[in-house]
Structure 1
Amino acid sequence: MKIKLGALLGVMLFCGMGWGQHFQPVDTTGEFSNIVISNSTIDNNPFQNGDEIGVFDDTLCVGVVVYENVFPVSCPAVMEYITPADDTLEGARQGNPMVFKVWQKNTDTEMEASPIYTSGGHFGDVLTVVDPLSASTTGISENISESQIPDGFDLLSNYPNPFNPETTIRYHLPIDIKTRIIVYDITGQQIRTLVDGLKQAGRYAVQWDGRNKDGIRVGTGNYIVKIEAGYFSKSIKILLMK
């Protein structure tokens, strides 16, 4: 979905800063980072009125927007501000990466969400545009960007790392191919299958919520994430800390 800059600015002017029923951001400092979300889904289904999107700097909620039957939406994020008296007003720090969460009103469920950025992605960027933002009630949400097909296969480092309780794992597929991504403990025992099926070429982001296949949170420690796509295989080590 492509949106002209003028339309985005219009959205920001009319939506403004909000407070949600679930997400409660810090008090405004008067400084904001502009974020526009072009579309968002939960389990690949459309948002419903009252669903919320929260923006976080690590664990600090700095912005929220309540869905009211229309996309795109604006979600200005409160930025940290140092007063002339050298007092620090709490907010997002310049250059830090953005973290998104979604709250589904009808099930009272909070979940991590995976963004695909068409611009920006860090607090303080002139304009961050997310298209789309995807969340999943299963704890595994995945997003794809086909705007730039990668030149080769790759499994990138997760972020954040160390993490608690969720982390995002990115991977690249240059062709349509059957792909598996599995989380193992350090003994080689399979913990959770994150991806298993035919995937189109693109740049992907998948989230793991730190739970095993039975939905139970696993313990602190190192885990191995392995991708298998045709002849390509790669593993990375990730660290869950509680």
Structure 2
Amino acid sequence: MRLPPYGRWYPIGGDSPVLQVYATDDFKLKVIVTSGGETAVDIHYVDVIFTGANLSSPNILAKFILEQNSPNPFNPITTIRYQLPQATHVKLEIFNTAGQLIRSLADHEESAGFKSVQWDGQNDHGAQVVSGLYFYRLETGDYEQTRRMLLLK
């Protein structure tokens, strides 16, 4: 499924033979069938039915995902994207290599969907941080993941 504003393909539906999809402004569907890691050569029929119910809801996500920031390396701004399959409390924080908290980008309830946050290379006090390796961590009630990013000046 390709959803704006990212323009990337996201796997949805898992192993379920039924997929519930809610409409977006730019709806496209791409189906790839694999078998044991190999692309299966077969013809499959996809029937998309819109019921008209709750078309603005992006409740199509199967799991929590924290993407790699982009661009990486970056200077002076990078974007961190993640997806939430359900409404939950979200903490998104930046740490230096010593494990010290540099910046809190989110600490609040968020609805399900694709999310995007920019970091401008500043700490919580508004000061520009030095070039180097930083870690960003997404925490929810059910999920935690940390990734690396590189600020180059």
TM-score range, shorter chain: 0.5 to 0.7
1:107-149 deviation digits (Å, cap 9, x = unpaired) = xxxxxxxxx52869xxxxxxxx89xxxxxxxxxxxxxx95463
Give the conservation status (yes or no) of the 8 Å contact 1:154–1:172: yes
Q: Distance in 2 between matches of 1:231 and 1:160?
A: 27
Higher fraction of strand: 1
- Scaled by the length of structure 1, the TM-score of the pair is 0.41
Residue identity in the other structure for 1:238 = M
Aligned equivalent of 1:187: 98
Please give the secondary structure, in 2, of the residue aligned with 1:117. coil
Aligned equivalent of 1:206: 117
| Alignment root-mean-square deviation, CA | 2.2
Residue identity in the other structure for 1:169 = I
* CA shift for structure 1 position 187: 0.4
Please give the secondary structure, in 2, of the residue aligned with 1:206. strand
Aligned equivalent of 1:155: 66
Point out where structure 2 has 5 or more consecutive residues left out of the alignment: 9-24, 27-55
Residue 117 of structure 1 pairs with residue 117 of structure 2: no
Aligned equivalent of 1:84: none
Give the conservation status (yes or no) of the 8 Å contact 1:186–1:222: yes
Which contiguous aligned blocks of 4+ residues in structure 1 show a shift greater than 2 angstroms? Answer: 116-120, 145-149
Aligned equivalent of 2:141: 230
Count of residue pairs the alignment pairs up = 105
Aligned equivalent of 2:79: 168
- Scaled by the length of structure 2, the TM-score of the pair is 0.63
Residue identity in the other structure for 1:117 = P
Give the conservation status (yes or no) of the 8 Å contact 2:58–2:112: no
Point out where structure 1 has 5 or more consecutive residues left out of the alignment: 1-115, 121-128, 131-144
Give the conservation status (yes or no) of the 8 Å contact 1:146–1:203: no
Higher fraction of helix: 1
Residue identity in the other structure for 1:154 = I
